[in-house]
Structure 1
């Protein structure tokens, strides 16, 4: 008889080799290629910090120097946050390809607090909210069991649709604006999408993976040829250094910060969905009980620092998830490289200004494609949730109805009290809340009631016999 030892040894060796296989999300690539892919992420998401700071400046009547300082801080903090989420030091960051941005609902809340109570109070509200996130995180982590794939998939669809709308507004402008649906802007947006499709169709390998960036650059070149680029905004000095406490010392007011603190709960739910969908996009199995809190801690840490530089809450971005899915490049070192590029941009004034002159219609065309991919990822997740079961379909349908209402019909809650309106107008928050409540009712409470009723009937029948 032959000894089984060689077979056992070979099996153990194969198992050891399998353990040493690096997952694509942890795979390091040549530095030049990583930087190139990182620049692609930056070009797609650069419009968000730029538009957020310009909106702050226009709403609060900030001077040009302060606007440039805040823009520099936005890029630097976005870069630091991206490094934290991608590299995952200690208990901060899930080690997934994430980038971080200011903007969205937290920006609107920041502006509302600033207009009502002053900029120092708004800055203090950001810091208080970030600390509040750390305090309530242990409780929120225990509630993750109530966020199954059905709930998260519904949230991702709502997030995707909302982001597609954001990208579309960059192309069309807002209804009522003088340049709404300007034919030149519409043409640039559609042409940018067309260029992206052509590059993705014709190219292979690394060029195909860079189709999003190439499409954006081609759209920008077309805009320049048509005279739609204002190069006057590309001037300025050589360096920008973010200023600490640009609005003075923060003033901490719990009452003023309450709307932002309440929204942070919805932001945690959104971070849950983005962490799960990001992991699915890169094909990595995660433990939500540990990965999600790391994402939230990364958000909170970056927001605390950003608050002292005059920025609104910093949040993980869903934009890069679409890029990951389109390009197939799953390495978290790419978004870490994007973080380094963002920090460099924050300190180099000419680069900041050069990015800022790319027409919003071009960036919007690119964003629409990337954001639509996120919606598809949500649909794919829902497709694995056995929607043939009527209760699953009902939960999803009602949550989508409530979540999409403020997105499809802006201003629907205009007559509600301001603090309540701010929460209701967040389609993601409303959709997540409805999905969680219905999921608990149908899949936790109702089965328990039905089981007790059945047991009581069985006991009654047995006693009658």
Structure 2
């Protein structure tokens, strides 16, 4: 594995290595070299680089809370409270993963975010069983992660790139559909397919494309956020953006604990999230290894990956009591690390502090909360489209040239996408069964994992590649 390369290989890892500080201790003995990941920098530069990370990833918690608010029809005050909690918990999680207290966090430049597949599962549970049960499911899943972590290494073989890639494609398609609903509205409801909202959504996507086309380097990394800002300005020019209530509610506010009431616990309702958490652990493995490679630091996955998973679980445990979905580590910041060459984990720790401060500043969270949903939807479609592409890329590394892998992927996609493409298809089933079947992500991951075991473990000869050339029609 690349994380176990000899020390000389570190110099070949992008970005170019930073010079390690040298010198001698007061007694004349040489000081040990400090790896760039652990290197401290002047406070002003650390904060500046940290703000840059925040600007790149801020669209994700904004999109997540807007999706929650629009889907569950939450009132504006509750939306502001949830947005505040999302920023604070993202900051706390980033601090845990970057600083690595005790056995939590791998001490790598990580940031944490809500959203993705856990958000969709959270929304499905909330719509079926209520918000209190959904928050209880988050708490149960976080506790479940701690329980199964010692067995996790034995389960990894059941979640290869074929399974995870299929799951991520389903996640991306589902999220793009939800983001599109923010732009168009729900079919059959007043204002559906409003032309102004459609124009705002398309304009936001267009701005993002233009910024990504004309900019390079760090500004290109900020194209999504700049597109969101440009779309908001356009909405203001069209009279769809009102800042009148931004100054209300004082300057400082604390996120509200248990905003939906005390959590209710149901193992059946939490099962889709628990199933996803196993795949999330496999994803955390890849995130940790890739992050370590990006900064040129050798790690031991057997000890560092569990630290990442513990950080995820601890942050999610707190987040559940503040009404949030599962919190996960993000790979968005790794691109900035590669572009800037700044590998210090204290930069993402500074980003965590900035996120916490933003969460406590009422005017900032209120200003963010009044961004038109059509603008956020346009941004979300781009961000979640990238998730779909990442799933496709992962599938590209899964030997899809072999008939068996293609068959496994096809069946999992068919069953996983069915409830997404045809809503209500399982409406005649009992509620407890329906919540499992209507979770396309959970169904797709489960089917892919089971078929992978059957074809590649129980009957490995089914997965053997042919030794003779095949005609084009054989595919």
- 1:75 is displaced (CA, Å) by 2.8
1:101 aligns with 2:114: yes
CA–CA distance in 1 between the matches of 2:95 and 2:167?
25
- 1:35 is displaced (CA, Å) by 0.9
- CA spacing shift, 1:13–1:75, aligned 2, 3 Å: closer
| Residue equivalent to 1:227 | 239
- 1:369 is displaced (CA, Å) by 1.7
Contact kept in structure 1, 2:272 and 2:442, CA below 8 Å? no
2:282 corresponds, among 272, 278, 286, to 272
Contact kept in structure 2, 1:299 and 1:315, CA below 8 Å? yes
Q: Report the 3-state secondary structure (helix = DSSP H, G, I; strand = E; otherwise coil) of the residue aligned with 1:72.
A: helix
2:315 corresponds, among 302, 305, 330, to 302
CA–CA distance in 1 between the matches of 2:320 and 2:251?
25
CA–CA distance in 1 between the matches of 2:334 and 2:96?
19
Contact kept in structure 2, 1:74 and 1:346, CA below 8 Å? yes
Contact kept in structure 2, 1:196 and 1:211, CA below 8 Å? yes
2:442 corresponds, among 404, 429, 432, to 429
CA–CA distance in 2 between the matches of 1:411 and 1:328?
45
| Residue equivalent to 2:358 | 345
| Residue equivalent to 1:463 | none
| Residue equivalent to 1:260 | 270
- 1:14 is displaced (CA, Å) by 5.9
1:410 aligns with 2:426: no
1:41-60 to 2 correspondence within 5 Å? 41-52=57-68, 58=73
1:389 aligns with 2:405: no
* C-alpha RMSD over aligned residues: 3.8
CA–CA distance in 1 between the matches of 2:207 and 2:337?
15
| Residue equivalent to 1:190 | 202
Contact kept in structure 2, 1:74 and 1:311, CA below 8 Å? no
TM-score by length of structure 1 reads 0.78
- CA spacing shift, 1:276–1:35, aligned 2, 3 Å: same
| Residue equivalent to 1:3 | none
| Residue equivalent to 1:455 | none
- CA spacing shift, 1:54–1:17, aligned 2, 3 Å: closer
Contact kept in structure 1, 2:83 and 2:369, CA below 8 Å? no
2:167 corresponds, among 155, 158, 180, to 155
- 1:28 is displaced (CA, Å) by 8.3
1:15-26 to 2 correspondence within 5 Å? 21=17
- 1:212 is displaced (CA, Å) by 1.8
| Residue equivalent to 2:212 | 200
CA–CA distance in 1 between the matches of 2:182 and 2:288?
25
1:77-96 to 2 correspondence within 5 Å? 77-94=89-106, 95=108
Contact kept in structure 1, 2:124 and 2:439, CA below 8 Å? no
CA–CA distance in 1 between the matches of 2:301 and 2:88?
29
Cα deviations by residue, 1:295-354 (Å, 9 ceiling, x for unpaired): 43223212322333x414423166x64994999579666654543333112211000000
CA–CA distance in 2 between the matches of 1:267 and 1:358?
31
CA–CA distance in 2 between the matches of 1:204 and 1:449?
47
The count of residues paired between Structure 1 and Structure 2 equals 427
Contact kept in structure 1, 2:251 and 2:361, CA below 8 Å? yes
CA–CA distance in 1 between the matches of 2:326 and 2:10?
41
Cα deviations by residue, 1:69-117 (Å, 9 ceiling, x for unpaired): 44433332232223334554443345464422163322442464447xx
CA–CA distance in 2 between the matches of 1:27 and 1:214?
30
CA–CA distance in 2 between the matches of 1:356 and 1:155?
30
Gaps of at least 5 residues in structure 1 are 1-11, 452-465
Contact kept in structure 1, 2:272 and 2:439, CA below 8 Å? no
- CA spacing shift, 1:419–1:222, aligned 2, 3 Å: same
Cα deviations by residue, 1:404-426 (Å, 9 ceiling, x for unpaired): 21222222222222122222222
Cα deviations by residue, 1:160-214 (Å, 9 ceiling, x for unpaired): 2222222222222222221222111111111111111212222223322222222
Cα deviations by residue, 1:213-262 (Å, 9 ceiling, x for unpaired): 222111111111011113234232111113445566x4765xx3432145
Cα deviations by residue, 1:27-62 (Å, 9 ceiling, x for unpaired): 988432431231231134313124425755x46xx7
1:120-135 to 2 correspondence within 5 Å? 126-135=138-147
CA–CA distance in 1 between the matches of 2:177 and 2:424?
15
Deviates more, 1:406-415 or 1:393-402: 406-415
| Residue equivalent to 1:35 | 51
